[in-house]
Amino acid sequence: MKSTSLQLRKISLIEYLLGIQDEKVFDKIESNIHKSLKAVKPVDIVFTKEDIIERAEFSNKQIKKGHVLSQKELEEQSKNW
């Protein structure tokens, strides 16, 4: 699968998550994500040069759109990590 296709799927999933209003549904999704991440070892996560550039470009677009968090918001959010 091409990484651009994966990026589009990620964006689509993020948009879906933003639309969820039922906290129980969101909790189940969040729990499954956390379980899946625990199963992945850091050595299993490998980024190509293209992946890193694509991620940086995506981040720059998000910043230009104003989709950012303040330091305080990030610190509050990170308490749940």
Cβ neighbours of residue 77 under 8 Å, at least 6 residues apart? 69
pLDDT score for 38? 82
Query: Residue 2's pLDDT band (boundaries 50, 70, 90)?
Result: low
Query: Residue 46's pLDDT band (boundaries 50, 70, 90)?
Result: confident
Give the angle 34-65-59 at the CA atoms, nearest 5°: 50
Write down the residue that tokens 């998550």 correspond to.
Answer: 17
**Inter-residue contact 51 to 3 (CB < 8 Å):** yes
The DSSP string of 12-76 is HHHHHHHH---HHHHHHHHHHHHHHHHHS-GGG----HHHHHHHHHHHHHHHHHT----HHHHHH
Query: Residue 1's pLDDT band (boundaries 50, 70, 90)?
Result: very low
pLDDT score for 54? 92
